Structure 1
Amino acid sequence: MISILYAALALLLLVITLAARLRVTWWWIRIAEFPRVQLASVALLLLPIGAFSDGPWSWVGLSACLLVVAIQLAYVLPWTPLWPVQVKAAEPGNDDRCLTLMIANVLTPNRNARDLITQIHNHRPDIVLTLESDGWWQEQLDAALNHEWPHAVRIPLDNLYGMHLYSRLPLISPRVEWLIQDDIPSILAGVRLRCGDEIRFHALHPRPPAPGESKESLWRDAELLLVGRAIHADPVPTLVAGDLNDVAWSRTTRLFCRVSGMLDPRRGRGMFSSFHAKYPLLRWPLDHVFTSEHFTLRELKRLDGFGSDHFPILSTLCFRPVRADEHDTPDAEQAEHREARETARLGKVKEQQE
């Protein structure tokens, strides 16, 4: 009986693992891409049972567990220090070519603005991006940041998709965009660095595939890939940041990187899992910073919680186009470009029908 239960549990882990590979947009399938570390951990814990059990089904469970571990590790290992870094480390100096960015999903009902503002003043980032910030959060942030972070884009919303951008550095022609759905904003702006160079900055927070949010991942995928296609079409020095409601190793996020040519500073360094702040065993990287090949990385870290379900993420990136050739920039095949184009088109059309 024990060997049968063991095999059944191991096969369930394998079914979930294989389901994540299906090219569908149903939320209950796509969500299987998130807990790869957790699934691999459970399979590892089950391995000794199969190794030391004589039951007739033990070999089935043992084989399934080994396969789960192998598949899941193949996905997540690039986001560990066991893998080569994708964004090269910045050399000392060149401070006028660097900028520090803080991302913080505040969780709209959370009212602990003081702890977040304290961290902002302690770390003094050049750019602060908040997600889920409504009118109340805008009042708190304006009062605390307007003097030292005078350049701002404010989108206070009560639908969990408000967004605020505060910057010490001048913002060039900032604009609010509604890329896929008319209640989900994004921000596009130029940023002038202290050295005088200008870079492009995208701030995103697409709708997640989850009960009560969206029955499919289509609209999230479409927004991310639409931005990826725009970056590919105009490959200037670019940063993309935000809560993407997707994990770093998902098929969509990896496709975005190949289509856009963007790099992930976490690869080769760690996961820096930002969600869920209150459940240590259920965490994955949802808050992202992606860079074009023109940047190197000085610092990347997860900051302290402040009552939200997300931890803030802090990164310092240096604009070093002379080192662009040091990076192994991802590239998409023609079939992947067609897939990105079709996903973006479908996201716009279906959004209007829903």
Structure 2
Amino acid sequence: MKLALIIVGFLFTIFSFLPILRTPLWWVRVLDFPKLHIAILLTITEAIYIFLFGVNSATDIAMVTIWTLAILNEVRYIFNFTPLVKTEALRAERKEPDNTFTMMIANVRMANKKHQKFLKLVLQENPDMLIMNEPDEAWHESVRQELDQRFPYSIKKPINNTYGMLFWSKFKLHNSEIRFLVEEGIPSFYTIVELPSGKKFDLFTVHPQPPRLLKNTETREAELLLVAEMARATPYASVVAGDLNDVAWSNTTKLFKNISGMLDPRVGRGFFNTYSAYVPLFRYPLDHVFYEPAFRLVGLKRLPKFGSDHFPISITLSYEPQLENQQEPPKPDTEDKQEAEELIEEGIEKGKEKNEEKAT
């Protein structure tokens, strides 16, 4: 029993410290996700060990100290998403109807056949904009008639590879583009949204590849950081939304926020876990909305599941540029900028290799 606890404890300790390494290796990056779980399991392991065997030697003291440091290492990442921390994104003050909008984001899961259940949820929520990740042509055909009637503007790229994307809007869209930033077959959208007041903002929608067996994350990092640079460079305030296949507390997401200068409405409010809808004990915040300080938060909620492995989320924002100086966005330092450029270059090269493999 004692040996088993020691092995389990040090295994979780390794899981805690490995993600500190700045590497795109998939078996390291997947450990960005279960930080809360590792902290809880290691805490239980440590408590059982102390209860059963005590701390009676220098070896015990050293081991328990290392385990405690590993627990604190995990907690420091997720702590910002608890109510104990000051909120990063401020609440709206004006809520003018012509400058307020609701956006719904949903990874529908291509294999999910409950198309009508999803459509019913969309009609019930009645958002101003809808982002769908993972739709294929079957999904498109099943919902387009109803949604085209309710949303006069759209950008569409259904693909049969789990990276399709559909976007509908009640508001006018300008200069819309379907972009393949890093990999062929993995689109992202860009558009300028015109609010009823006539004010405009940029919208970027993304869905990069996740870390998975033998699939490293170079292209994911490159796509997210390219979008971060683009968003910061545009003349309009920007919103970035979609399934980022990354958790809110990872180093990649932090770097994305620093480069883009965007706020995360979950800081100080909660995790808003969206994946997996199937497994209640293992859920992570993979679907995101980030925005610049010209926007204020009206509401953020996780919506009911509808058959996908993701929960959809809904966010309502108010465009209040006159108050943007009251919010403090993250800012990149020289090291952040250098790291971002290196990751972008590395990811683009990896994307070229993948594109060439597909071509052959």
TM-score by length of 2: 0.94
Q: Is the 8 A contact 1:257 1:263 kept in 2?
A: yes
What secondary structure is seen at the aligned counterpart in 1 of 2:341?
helix
Indicate the residue corresponding to 1:172 in structure 2.
174
What secondary structure is seen at the aligned counterpart in 2 of 1:20?
helix
How do residues 154-193 of structure 1 correspond to structure 2 at under 5 angstroms? 154-193=156-195
1:61 Cα deviation from its structure 2 partner = 4.7
1:76 Cα deviation from its structure 2 partner = 0.2
Indicate the residue corresponding to 2:28 in structure 1.
29
What secondary structure is seen at the aligned counterpart in 2 of 1:66?
helix
Indicate the residue corresponding to 2:358 in structure 1.
none
Aligned equivalents of 2:125, 2:351: Cα separation in 1: 39
Q: Is the 8 A contact 1:46 1:65 kept in 2?
A: no
Deviations 1:254-280 (A, max 9, x none): 000001101111111111010011001
Q: Give unpaired runs (5+ residues) of structure 1.
A: none
Aligned equivalents of 2:29, 2:334: Cα separation in 1: 24
Indicate the residue corresponding to 1:325 in structure 2.
325
How do residues 87-98 of structure 1 correspond to structure 2 at under 5 angstroms? 87-91=89-93, 93-98=95-100
Aligned equivalents of 2:335, 2:72: Cα separation in 1: 27
How do residues 177-256 of structure 1 correspond to structure 2 at under 5 angstroms? 177-211=179-213, 215-234=215-234, 236-256=236-256
**Aligned AA (1:234):** T
Root-mean-square deviation (Å): 1.4
Q: Is the 8 A contact 2:202 2:231 kept in 1?
A: no
Aligned equivalents of 1:181, 1:140: Cα separation in 2: 27
Matched, 1:12 2:11: yes
Aligned equivalents of 2:342, 2:299: Cα separation in 1: 36
Deviations 1:173-194 (A, max 9, x none): 1110000011110000000111
Aligned equivalents of 1:82, 1:106: Cα separation in 2: 33
What secondary structure is seen at the aligned counterpart in 1 of 2:150?
coil
Indicate the residue corresponding to 1:100 in structure 2.
102
Deviations 1:106-129 (A, max 9, x none): 110101011211111111100000
Matched, 1:117 2:116: no
Aligned equivalents of 1:17, 1:112: Cα separation in 2: 38
Aligned equivalents of 1:120, 1:215: Cα separation in 2: 33
TM-score by length of 1: 0.96
**Aligned AA (2:109):** L
What secondary structure is seen at the aligned counterpart in 1 of 2:149?
coil
**Aligned AA (1:343):** L
Aligned equivalents of 1:230, 1:16: Cα separation in 2: 34
What secondary structure is seen at the aligned counterpart in 2 of 1:166?
strand
1:60 Cα deviation from its structure 2 partner = 4.8
**Aligned AA (1:161):** Y
1:46 Cα deviation from its structure 2 partner = 2.3
1:7 Cα deviation from its structure 2 partner = 2.0
Q: Give unpaired runs (5+ residues) of structure 2.
A: 355-360
1:235 Cα deviation from its structure 2 partner = 5.5
Tell me the number of residue pairs that the alignment of Structure 1 and Structure 2 aligns.
351
Deviations 1:107-156 (A, max 9, x none): 10101011211111111100000000011110122122111111011101
Aligned equivalents of 1:286, 1:176: Cα separation in 2: 22
Deviations 1:21-59 (A, max 9, x none): 111111001111110011111122223213323356654
Q: Is the 8 A contact 1:50 1:59 kept in 2?
A: no
**Aligned AA (1:302):** R
How do residues 286-301 of structure 1 correspond to structure 2 at under 5 angstroms? 286-301=286-301
1:197 Cα deviation from its structure 2 partner = 0.1
Between 163-172 and 338-347, report the one with greater CA deviation.
338-347
Structure 1: 4+ residue segments shifted above 6 A = none
How do residues 49-64 of structure 1 correspond to structure 2 at under 5 angstroms? 49-54=48-53, 58-64=60-66
Aligned equivalents of 1:61, 1:6: Cα separation in 2: 11
Given the superposition, is the C-alpha separation of residues 235 and 269 from structure 1 closer, same or farther in structure 2, using an over 3 Å criterion? farther
Q: Is the 8 A contact 1:50 1:62 kept in 2?
A: no
Aligned equivalents of 1:138, 1:88: Cα separation in 2: 36
What secondary structure is seen at the aligned counterpart in 1 of 2:52?
coil
1:103 Cα deviation from its structure 2 partner = 0.4
Aligned equivalents of 2:68, 2:264: Cα separation in 1: 29
What secondary structure is seen at the aligned counterpart in 2 of 1:171?
strand
What secondary structure is seen at the aligned counterpart in 2 of 1:209?
coil
Between 343-352 and 50-59, report the one with greater CA deviation.
50-59
**Aligned AA (1:190):** I
Aligned equivalents of 2:39, 2:168: Cα separation in 1: 39
Aligned equivalents of 1:269, 1:334: Cα separation in 2: 30
Aligned equivalents of 1:73, 1:150: Cα separation in 2: 45
Aligned equivalents of 2:188, 2:351: Cα separation in 1: 16
Identity over aligned pairs, percent: 35
Q: Is the 8 A contact 1:7 1:62 kept in 2?
A: no
Q: Is the 8 A contact 1:180 1:348 kept in 2?
A: yes
Match of 1:145 among 144, 147, 159: 147
**Aligned AA (1:233):** A
Matched, 1:337 2:337: yes
Q: Is the 8 A contact 1:7 1:60 kept in 2?
A: no
**Aligned AA (2:242):** G
**Aligned AA (2:302):** R
Deviations 1:70-102 (A, max 9, x none): 111110011111111111011253121111000
Q: Is the 8 A contact 2:95 2:298 kept in 1?
A: no
